[in-house]
Chains A and B, each alone.
Chain A
Amino acid sequence: MKRSAAYPYLAWLAVFTIIPLILVLYYAFTSVSDGAVKFSPDNFVRAFEPMYLIVMWRSFVLALAATAICFLIGYPAAYILARKVGEKKSTLLFLLLVPMWMNFLLRTYSWLTILERNGIINNALFALGLPKMDLLYTREAVVLGMVYNFLSFMILPIYTALSKIDASLIEAAQDLGAGKMNVFFRVIFPLSLPGVVSGVTMVFLPAITTFVIPNLLGGGKDALIGSLIEQQFLRVGDWRFGSAVSVVIMGLIVIAMSLFYAVDSDEGEGGLF
């Protein structure tokens, strides 16, 4: 029951998360010229070339689209779930959890079967005498894959925030003359914002960095940031540039999140940074 019990844990995390991040920074800020390693911003200059800016912009737009769609279809679902009671509610929550724990790769793969040229949808179109469509390897397919994989991450935190709202607050609002719309927009929605914040975080973060979804469902045609990093490390072998892109993405995430969390002021102990 002493503080020192935490030392192995903290040491482990220091060695395997902090030192690696320092190494990433080191690689990102150095380049090799004439066989000597020296400090240089070259990798970052390169990362902001138009060609790569387009990749970042595309990742941002697709992730934002997926997040927005998740929010729009997830919020009502969370709202309906939060109003259920008893055994029914537990069962529905269980049903919501199951696909979430299904292997991520398999979930993504399942859409191949549905969307591909000889897949379920095209076969159905064909049977109806309609022309086949190119569904797979499109940006829409990538966004669909993101929405499918991350929807539950949006629903669950919003559901949790909604269920935590004290029913007497809603009654108090009604008591003070608020109709359904006013109760929702002035009381329920503002109080569910912490859930929305974590839902958006939990969808946007994996969406903007994924490389599995664009590689499988986008056919690797349009690179996203994730695919770019993967290529630099595993195929091109340019660790310095790959590290620089990683630093940029981390920076973007930190900025986006601190802007976002500024809205949601008090987050209790052990905050984000």
Chain B
Amino acid sequence: MKRLADICSKFYLGLIFLFLYAPIGVLVALSFNESRSRAHWSGFSLRWYAELFKDPEIMKALYYTLLVAALSAFLASVIGTLGAIGIDRMTKTQKKIAMNITNIPVMNPDIVTGVSMMILFVFAFSLFNAGSLGFGTLLLSHVTFNAPYAALAVLPKLRSLDSRMYEAALDLGATPRSAFFKVIFPEIAPGIISGALLSFTLSVDDFVISFFTTGAGVNTLSILIYSMARRGINPKINALSAIMFLVVIVMLYIVDKRQRPKTEKL
């Protein structure tokens, strides 16, 4: 009985993972196919990878994607960390209000966040009679949806922090500034880093909000994939998928490694 249940549960998990990985596996496999065909294997080739890197449109989109991800992750971490520190010090009611504001971009459907920011930007441009949607608005929108996640990653670290540690540092003669950097900051740094990593990933992954807040000539990879996919199958996307899949695995593996020793202590 017990063995049967064991086998069934293994089989079930196997099916789930097959469902999750098969489509990606198909893309990766096809990325090495010589021909455009999805039906016939015409030999191993790196042709699509070569074409991918030669495609100026894709390379430009990659550049914008990484740039906006890095900048927005940095800015969101700074704003979000300060936000978390301030929120941690608030009274109960203030905290509740701040948390609800934090939850707006998290809970709001992406499409509403996207169109509402687009309205704001266009409204502001018409008000000042200058400017247009483009890299600037893209970056502003990414910082906006990342900042709450950065704050949410730091808050639990602050909550578990013993407030007497800061007071002890002051008692031992540290100035508030050095007490913060020598005592508080090292404690919350892991939260800041996870927040930044999460922001970076969310930014790379975002399509909907970028779609509404970017302007002509500034594409992210997601937007480019969307427009290419609407035109039909393109083997260069397969090659891109394989590369992004690899990046995801490596990044998650690093994050996982960082966290594992902690979880195993439990």
CB neighbours of A246 from chain B (8 A): 111-112, 115-116
State which of B101, B147, B207 has its C-beta within 8 Å of the C-beta of A18.
B101
Mask of A90-114 contacts with B, CB within 8 angstroms, 1/0: 1010111111011111111111111
State which of B22, B89, B144 has its C-beta within 8 Å of the C-beta of A2.
B89
- B59 within 8 Å of A by Cβ? no
Between A14, A208, A211, the greatest number of chain B beta carbons within 10 A of the residue's beta carbon is seen for A211
- A243 within 8 Å of B by Cβ? yes
Q: How far is the CB of A2 from chain B (nearest CB, A)?
A: 6
Bound form: Cα–Cα A205–B23 in Å = 24
Looking at A47-55, A184-192, A225-233, the stretch in contact with chain B turns out to be: A225-233
State which of A17, A90, A233 has its C-beta within 8 Å of the C-beta of B256.
A90
Q: How far is the CB of B10 from chain A (nearest CB, A)?
A: 8
State which of B96, B109, B241 has its C-beta within 8 Å of the C-beta of A106.
B241
Please, which residue of chain A has its CB at the minimum distance from the CB of B141? A16
| B109 x A206 contact (CB < 8 A) | yes
Which interface class (under 10, 10 to 19, 20 to 34, 35 or more) fits A? 35 or more
Q: How far is the CB of B223 from chain A (nearest CB, A)?
A: 8
State which of B39, B82, B222, B251 has its C-beta within 8 Å of the C-beta of A5.
B82
CB neighbours of B143 from chain A (8 A): 12, 16
Please, which residue of chain A has its CB at the minimum distance from the CB of B13? A80
State which of A9, A12, A110, A269 has its C-beta within 8 Å of the C-beta of B95.
A269
* Given A6-B86, A17-B108, A98-B249, A113 contacting B119 (CB threshold 8 A): no
Mask of B132-151 contacts with A, CB within 8 angstroms, 1/0: 00000000110110011001
Count of inter-chain pairs, beta carbons less than 8 A: 253
- A250 within 8 Å of B by Cβ? yes
* Given A3-B90, A20-B119, A105-B225, A98 contacting B248 (CB threshold 8 A): yes
* Given A102-B24, A106-B240, A1 contacting B85 (CB threshold 8 A): yes
| B115 x A103 contact (CB < 8 A) | no
Please, which residue of chain B has its CB at the minimum distance from the CB of A77? B16
- A81 within 8 Å of B by Cβ? yes
- B21 within 8 Å of A by Cβ? yes
CB neighbours of B212 from chain A (8 A): 233-234
| A17 x B109 contact (CB < 8 A) | no
* Given A106-B225, A246-B116, A119 contacting B38 (CB threshold 8 A): yes
CB neighbours of A99 from chain B (8 A): 20-21, 24
Please, which residue of chain B has its CB at the minimum distance from the CB of A232? B115
| A101 x B82 contact (CB < 8 A) | no
- A249 within 8 Å of B by Cβ? yes
CB neighbours of A90 from chain B (8 A): 256, 260, 263
Please, which residue of chain A has its CB at the minimum distance from the CB of B226? A105
- B221 within 8 Å of A by Cβ? yes
CB neighbours of B115 from chain A (8 A): 24, 229, 233, 242-243, 246
| A209 x B237 contact (CB < 8 A) | no
State which of A16, A103, A243 has its C-beta within 8 Å of the C-beta of B222.
A103
| A6 x B222 contact (CB < 8 A) | no
| B222 x A9 contact (CB < 8 A) | no
State which of B184, B237, B252 has its C-beta within 8 Å of the C-beta of A94.
B252
Please, which residue of chain B has its CB at the minimum distance from the CB of A89? B263
| A103 x B244 contact (CB < 8 A) | yes
- A133 within 8 Å of B by Cβ? no
- A19 within 8 Å of B by Cβ? yes
* Given A106-B244, A209-B109, A6 contacting B12 (CB threshold 8 A): no
Between B23, B85, B107, B237, the greatest number of chain A beta carbons within 10 A of the residue's beta carbon is seen for B23
Mask of B185-224 contacts with A, CB within 8 angstroms, 1/0: 0000000000000000100110110001000000001100
- B168 within 8 Å of A by Cβ? no
Please, which residue of chain B has its CB at the minimum distance from the CB of A233? B115
| B112 x A24 contact (CB < 8 A) | yes
| A253 x B109 contact (CB < 8 A) | yes
Bound form: Cα–Cα A55–B229 in Å = 24
Bound form: Cα–Cα A119–B201 in Å = 30
Q: How far is the CB of A159 from chain B (nearest CB, A)?
A: 12
| A239 x B144 contact (CB < 8 A) | no
Interface residues of A in 36-85 (CB under 8 A from B): 73, 76-77, 80-81, 83
| B105 x A9 contact (CB < 8 A) | no
Mask of A179-199 contacts with B, CB within 8 angstroms, 1/0: 000000000000000000000
Bound form: Cα–Cα A5–B84 in Å = 8
| A23 x B230 contact (CB < 8 A) | no
| B256 x A230 contact (CB < 8 A) | no
Interface residues of B in 161-200 (CB under 8 A from A): 166, 176, 180, 184
Cross-chain pairs A/B with CB under 8 angstroms, 28 sampled: A5-B86, A6-B86, A6-B87, A9-B87, A9-B147, A10-B86, A12-B147, A13-B102, A16-B141, A16-B144, A23-B120, A94-B256, A96-B20, A97-B252, A98-B252, A99-B20, A105-B225, A106-B237, A107-B24, A114-B23, A118-B37, A123-B38, A229-B111, A229-B115, A233-B212, A243-B119, A250-B109, A270-B95
Q: Which 3 A-B pairs have the closest CB atoms?
A: A6-B86, A9-B83, A270-B99
